[in-house]
Amino acid sequence: MELRSFRESDTEAVIALIDAVYREYDDRVYLEGAEADLKEVSEYFGDDLFQVLDDGGAVRGTIAIAAGEDGTETWFLKRLYLDPTLRGGGWAKQLLDWAVETARARGATRLDLWSDVRFERAHAFYAKHGFTREGEPRTMHDSWQPYQEYFYTRRL
């Protein structure tokens, strides 16, 4: 398996992977709102800030980072998704390591993220790798149905 930069030809596979993860929670990708960035990944993330885990041409994982909008040293972890058959095998850690190293190299001193309250396994993963949950969940209305998210942060 190879971690590589997103290519436009990956778009459908990335959307399908993320949609499959959402469907584990009786949800689905909503490209007109919460996941609109998936229609124009290169425009939103640039050339190298969205990575895919490529398994012989099949997208099996994704990860991205984005600079904070306020121009600070805070960056955001985005789009960490993994094929269910790869979970628990160290792949998520490799994706996270890429995000941390890349954010640090670009001057980040903190990495933040928002995570759907239903993603309990992900929350345990974030806690294991130095993220702390802060504040109360926020309710979002940018999908086909409302959902809630927790905020996590990690000093780098």
What is the per-residue pLDDT for 20?
Answer: 97
Q: Answer whether residue 69 shows pLDDT above 90.
A: no
Query: 72-122: per-residue pLDDT in tens?
Result: 799 999 999 999 999 999 999 999 999 999 999 999 999 999 999 999 999
* The CATH fold of domain 2-155: Aminopeptidase (3.40.630)
- CB-CB contact of 77 with 112 (8 Å): yes
Q: Answer whether residue 52 shows pLDDT above 80.
A: yes
- CB-CB contact of 78 with 64 (8 Å): yes
Express as a percent the part of the chain with pLDDT over 90.
93
- CB-CB contact of 131 with 96 (8 Å): no
Exposed (0-12), middle (13-18) or buried (19+): which is 25, by Cβ within 10 Å? exposed
- CB-CB contact of 14 with 62 (8 Å): yes
Q: Answer whether residue 39 shows pLDDT above 90.
A: yes
Length in residues, the chain? 156
